[in-house]
Structure 1
Amino acid sequence: MRGLVFHGVGQPLQLETLDDPTPSAGEVVIKVGRCGICGTDLHRTEDNIWTARPPVVLGHEFAGEIVAVGKDVTGLQAGMRVTALPYIGCGKCRACLAGSPHHCPSNLNAGTEALNGGFAEYVKVGAGSCVPLPAALSIADGALVEPLAVGLHGVKRGKVQPGDRVLVIGAGPIGLAAAYWARLAGASHVAVSAPSNRRQAIAEGMGATSFIVAQDDATLAHAAAEALGGAPDVVLECVGLPGMIQRSLACVKTGGRVVVLGVCIHQDHFHPLTGLAREADIHFSVVYDVAEFQTCVDALDAGHISPRSMITDSVGLLEAPAAFEALRQRTHQCKVMIDPWADNGQSLQG
């Protein structure tokens, strides 16, 4: 198969010919129809504490068609269109049986050193990680499920209730997904903040009732309270830069909840007194489970399709290295997807 390989910091992804994956017991191989480029992929190709150990095929936001099924797999067969959590668990431990293969002590994570990811023509995943796609959904919809599930998990961690006032800090795909789920959870007002209004239209289309351009804590706290009709009950931090936890605490109401979804790869600090004075709860949120993937699929299938507006481009494997590098700078793009088959005319539908 063809795949994009990371060989080191400062080097563009290289298109290479790799061995096709073969499913073992409890595994399936997916022909990748779309794979989204995530900020995590960019972080892992930069010089930091989380740099991937090359060679690595990245990509964990994928969907496609099952082409091979391993031993002891039931309920799945070749030809089925699926999205999948990018994990292979043992299938037998408490975490796997609960639909959380990322907590499995022996899990393999696609898109890391452990397992080739979705920036390739094929990817291998655990059968228990697969969620079939209804006929009404496209392959591109399926590749949106992973970032949507990250947002859903954060909203659940924040216990967003009907009538809550919610502030989302960050208008990237995770922040937009968080706004989408906050509104579906019944939040009365959802404000999204960002350094510019480039994604205001997408945010409003996905459920934001207001959009705030703010550069500092005090300005944001004031603007959020004004836009929401009071300090936010829940703040969802979706930026992942130093200072964002402190900014969240400066904004949240007394007795409110802060959920950290942003992946910060640098050391950070905040003033405990700020949180202490407000008796604020801080929660950290990472990834999702199978049930949350299913919830995302069901929402899209029910007609809540506004997340499609996040997809701003789709590129083939030949174009992907340049598109990947371009995302390191501020850009008009939101979610760029890779279609591994676009260059040879074998694209899967949507």
Structure 2
Amino acid sequence: MKAAVFKRAGMPLVVETVDDPTPRAGEAVIKVQRCGVCGTDLHMTSGHGNDFPDNSVIGHEYCGEIVALGKGVDHLKLGQFVTAMPVGGCGQCQACLAGYPMACMRMEGRVGGFGEYMRIAAQSSVILPETLSAADGALVEPLAVGLRGVRLARMQPGARVAVLGAGSIGLAAIYWARLLGAGKIVAISRSARRADLAVQMGASGFETLGEGEGERIASALGGMPDIVLECTGAIGMTQKAIELVAPGGMLVSLGFCTSPDPILPSLATWKQVTIKFSFAYDLREFQHCADMLGAGHVEPRLMISKTVGLDAFPDLFEALRAGANETKVHVDPWSAQ
């Protein structure tokens, strides 16, 4: 099969012919129909000390058609359209049985969406509604990240919400905050280039960071935000969220900053801020995202700014690492484009 292979940190991906995958016990193989590019893909191929293994096929926002089943897989069928969490576990521990294999002591990654075929963990899979497109299926993973973060905020109906960041995770957080009962929602970013998209996803308004930001955000919300969802992962944004949130408010970090990020504990203490860190998702959240898309809440489709085939993908991937202005890029491994 063809795949875009990560050779080593800092090098462009290379499209090569590699061995077709064979399912092991508890696995299935899918013919990949779409795979999204995540900021983590860009970060972990750039030499920051936590890179992917050399000569590997990455990509974790995927969906596809089941073409092979491993031993012991009896709840899936050939031809089904599925997505899956990009991890697998032992299938027997408390974490696995609760649908959260990330906490399994035997957790293994299941990435490979930048290739024509890949192995998935059958227990971590979700059968997608027939009404969904391949593009929809590849949006389930980033939407589930946003859903978990909003759920952790324990948002009350009508809550004032500020979302730091207007990338795909920030947009997903806006989408879920709106669906789960937020009052006014303000998206916040350094640049206004995604202001219209943020409003289309459910934001009431958009503000840029800079002079008078706190006053402008409070004015747009009708008061300081009860909840701040930090979705950038940039150094300094956790402290920025502490500064913006109302006394007694909630800060949820979804940004997954991988560098030391100092905060001023005395300010958080004085304001009695609750801080939570959100990681990934569970199987129920994956299923809920698929169900909501199937029910017609398809605004996330607006995030997809470009879809390319494997041959064009390495050049685009390098452009993204250099800061190209795209929101969500999808790879179609079977496209000639």
TM range (shorter): over 0.9
Q: What is the percent sequence identity of the aligned residues?
A: 51
> Is the 1:59–1:110 contact (alpha carbons within 8 Å) kept by the matching residues of 2?
no
Alpha-carbon shift at residue 329 of structure 1 (Å): 3.3
Structure 2 letter corresponding to 1:319: A
2:313 to 320, 327, 338: 320
Alpha-carbon shift at residue 231 of structure 1 (Å): 0.7
Structure 1 letter corresponding to 2:170: G
Cα distance in 2 for partners of 1:151, 1:274 equals 27
Cα distance in 1 for partners of 2:126, 2:213 equals 39
Task: Name the counterpart of 1:163.
Answer: 158
> Is the 2:44–2:50 contact (alpha carbons within 8 Å) kept by the matching residues of 1?
yes
Alpha-carbon shift at residue 162 of structure 1 (Å): 1.0
1:272 partnered with 2:265: yes
> Superposition pairs for residues 1-350 of structure 1, below 5 Å?
1-111=1-111, 117-215=112-210, 219-343=212-336
Structure 2 letter corresponding to 1:142: G
Partner deviation per Cα, 1:133-154 (whole Å, 9 max, x = no partner): 1111101100000000000000
- What is the count of residue pairs matched by the alignment? 337
Cα distance in 1 for partners of 2:332, 2:130 equals 20
Cα distance in 1 for partners of 2:178, 2:198 equals 11
Cα distance in 1 for partners of 2:260, 2:56 equals 25
**Secondary structure, aligned partner of 1:267:** coil
Cα distance in 2 for partners of 1:312, 1:295 equals 24
Alpha-carbon shift at residue 159 of structure 1 (Å): 1.1
Task: Name the counterpart of 1:347.
Answer: none
Partner deviation per Cα, 1:119-177 (whole Å, 9 max, x = no partner): 11111111111111111110110000000000000001111221100000000000000
What TM-score, normalized to structure 1? 0.94
Structure 1 letter corresponding to 2:167: G
Partner deviation per Cα, 1:195-227 (whole Å, 9 max, x = no partner): 1111111111110001111136xx332221111
Cα distance in 1 for partners of 2:298, 2:55 equals 36
> Is the 1:87–1:129 contact (alpha carbons within 8 Å) kept by the matching residues of 2?
yes
Partner deviation per Cα, 1:20-69 (whole Å, 9 max, x = no partner): 11111111111100000000000001121322231221100000100001
> Is the 1:315–1:342 contact (alpha carbons within 8 Å) kept by the matching residues of 2?
yes
After superposition, the CA RMSD in angstroms is: 1.2
Cα distance in 1 for partners of 2:72, 2:323 equals 46
Ranges of 4+ aligned residues in structure 1 off by more than 6 Å:
none
> Is the 1:110–1:118 contact (alpha carbons within 8 Å) kept by the matching residues of 2?
no
Cα distance in 1 for partners of 2:88, 2:150 equals 25
Gaps of 5+ in 2: none
**Secondary structure, aligned partner of 1:231:** coil
Cα distance in 1 for partners of 2:115, 2:330 equals 12
Cα distance in 2 for partners of 1:201, 1:72 equals 48
Moved more, 86-95 or 170-179: 86-95
Cα distance in 2 for partners of 1:209, 1:189 equals 6
Structure 2 letter corresponding to 1:303: G
Partner deviation per Cα, 1:326-345 (whole Å, 9 max, x = no partner): 1123333110000011129x
Cα distance in 1 for partners of 2:210, 2:175 equals 23
Cα distance in 2 for partners of 1:198, 1:260 equals 23
Gaps of 5+ in 1: 112-116, 345-350
Cα distance in 1 for partners of 2:323, 2:27 equals 38
Cα distance in 2 for partners of 1:183, 1:174 equals 14
